Amino acid sequence: MSNPSAPATLGAEAAQHFTQPPPRYSEASLVKRLEELGIGRPSTYASILQVLRDRAYVRMEARRFHPEEKGRLVTAFLERFFARWVEYDFTAGLEDELDRVAEGSEDWLALLRRFWADFKPAADGVMERFPSEVTAALDEHLAGLLYPPRADGGDPRQCPLCGEGRLGLRTGRFGAFVGCSRYPDCKFTRPFASEGGSGEAATAGPELLGHDPATGLPVTRRAGRFGAYVQLGEGEKPPRASIPRDAGPLDLELALRLLSLPRTVGAHPETGQPITAAIGRYGPYLAHAGKYARLGSTAEVFEVGMNAAVVALAEAAQRGPRRSAEPLRTLGDSPVTGKPVALMQGRFGAYVADGATNATLPKGMSPEALTLDEALALLAARAAAGPAQGKARTRPAARAKPAGTAKPKTKPATKARPAAKPRAKPKASPSS
């Protein structure tokens, strides 16, 4: 029998919760925030949003603003060298002063003198700096974004490739990037920054997988603009190969097999010409004498034998060109439609579809390296562009009139022409 005077036992339960970041601004939420801060006026909001897009400061994904590299750099430059003039309070206060100028209660020349007296010395000071000094100042200002703390507690600026150099912000022909201080001895580089300083593109440098037994060159895994790939050695144009999503765990053996493609299966028994297996723009395939057949997976590229290859090519020839609507790949679900985002092959090239919108892949974009975020950005841009221009316009149908109100069509009455006046007879001359 339990003792009623004994204290009740208390239990504890451990639960893990993750806080979600606030959602990114849409057009409506950004305008609302500008109104709260007192920045801009209703007549200027449309032009502000348009400038953000036209100058490529942001990109639209699922109707949300995402900062681009140029936008991050411009923002960092203004915050570092013109902090006073980009503060919310200063911008809102200047809007109020401009309103008083419009009302006639404040002199516009006095307003310009006050602004220019402080702004010009600051601008002249920046113009006198060398570009390298400006880059170094931005590198220090963006240190928290570019060099997040490492999991092992090491120096976040230490070069992951050589282990001796120090990472720093650099500017080049194609924009800003992070590079090693030991260049050209160490050629480590990585993109400027991904969102929040995290992600594969922002933190992952070349990962050494091993050395090629045949050449002794290093084999590295890298993160590129269109996804992960493997590279053999260094140089101007080293051998490279994309890493398919279904390739499985990457090791030195798999990397060397990818770099060795295309693989020769053998000679066709009828034509004597070689049959090759490779990975192309639209996935794994077989090729023979200008004819192609699709393979089901990356593993088949390395495993398919002669008999299976001959059968696959024969079946592909019987089916004819691919015209089906089956997706090449499914990238994920769309947050807008809730349906799968599929990579399709159309008559004029590859495109993505989410059940409501189709968007063609631009030239230079690799379909096999396409990510869900890139596909959503293409779909959002296509949806925002509206219907295609240049189509023949059809005349709108006439509105139907209610029954009983139709009037018979009658020709408008023509005005009667006035009767011609009789011509007066000529008067007889006196001589007659």
- Candidate from 254-258, 294-298, 398-402 with smallest mean pLDDT: 398-402
pLDDT for position 235 = 79
Specify the residue for token string 């650099």.
Answer: 170
If you average pLDDT over every residue of the chain, what do you get? 79
Name the percent of the chain in helix, strand, coil, to the closest 5: 30, 20, 45
Highest mean pLDDT: which range of 11-25, 102-116, 224-238, 352-366 = 102-116
Q: Who's near 337: CB < 8 A, 6+ residues apart? A: 354, 355, 356
pLDDT for position 43 = 84
Q: Residue 271: is its pLDDT beyond 50?
A: yes
Question: Is 276 in a helix, a strand, or coil?
Answer: strand
Where does the pLDDT of residue 87 fall: very low under 50, low under 70, confident under 90, or very high at 90 and above? confident
pLDDT for position 256 = 93
- CA 340 distance to own-chain centroid: 19
Q: How far apart are CA 362 and CA 355, in angstroms?
A: 20
| Segments of the chain assigned to CATH 3.30.65 | 141-205
pTM: 0.45
Contact indicator for 166, 146 with CB cutoff of 8 Å = no
Q: Residue 47: is its pLDDT beyond 50?
A: yes
Q: Residue 411: is its pLDDT beyond 80?
A: no
Where does the pLDDT of residue 2 fall: very low under 50, low under 70, confident under 90, or very high at 90 and above? low
pLDDT for position 325 = 53
- CA 249 distance to own-chain centroid: 27
Amino acid at 130: F
Select the more confidently predicted residue: 80 or 7: 80
Specify the residue for token string 């023509």.
Answer: 414
| Segments of the chain assigned to CATH 1.10.460.10 | 27-136
Question: Is 430 in a helix, a strand, or coil?
Answer: coil
Q: What's the rounded mean pLDDT across residues 72-84?
A: 87
User: Phi and psi of 189, rounded to 5°?
Assistant: -140, 160
pLDDT for position 7 = 63
Q: Residue 277: is its pLDDT beyond 90?
A: yes
166 bridge partner residues: 158
Select the more confidently predicted residue: 11 or 410: 11
Question: Is 103 in a helix, a strand, or coil?
Answer: helix
pLDDT for position 8 = 65
Select the more confidently predicted residue: 3 or 116: 116
CATH topology of domain 141-205: Bacterial Topoisomerase I; domain 1 (3.30.65)
Query: Over pLDDT 70: what percentage of the chain?
Result: 80
Q: What's the rounded mean pLDDT across residues 170-197?
A: 71
Contact indicator for 186, 161 with CB cutoff of 8 Å = yes
Q: Which of 374, 292, 288 is nearest to 331 (CA)?
A: 374
Q: Which of 175, 39, 31 is nearest to 96 (CA)?
A: 39
Q: How far apart are CA 192 and CA 73, in angstroms?
A: 9
Contact indicator for 205, 194 with CB cutoff of 8 Å = no
Q: What class does CATH assign to 27-136?
A: mainly alpha
> What strands lie across the sheet with 263-267, from one edge to the other?
263-267, 274-280, 283-288, 291-294
pLDDT for position 390 = 45
Q: Give the model confidence (pLDDT) of 120-176 as tens digits.
A: 998 998 898 888 888 888 888 888 778 888 777 788 888 877 778 888 888 776 667
Q: Residue 197: is its pLDDT beyond 90?
A: no
Q: Give the model confidence (pLDDT) of 324-381 as tens digits.
A: 456 778 888 888 888 888 888 876 778 889 888 888 888 778 787 788 888 888 988 8
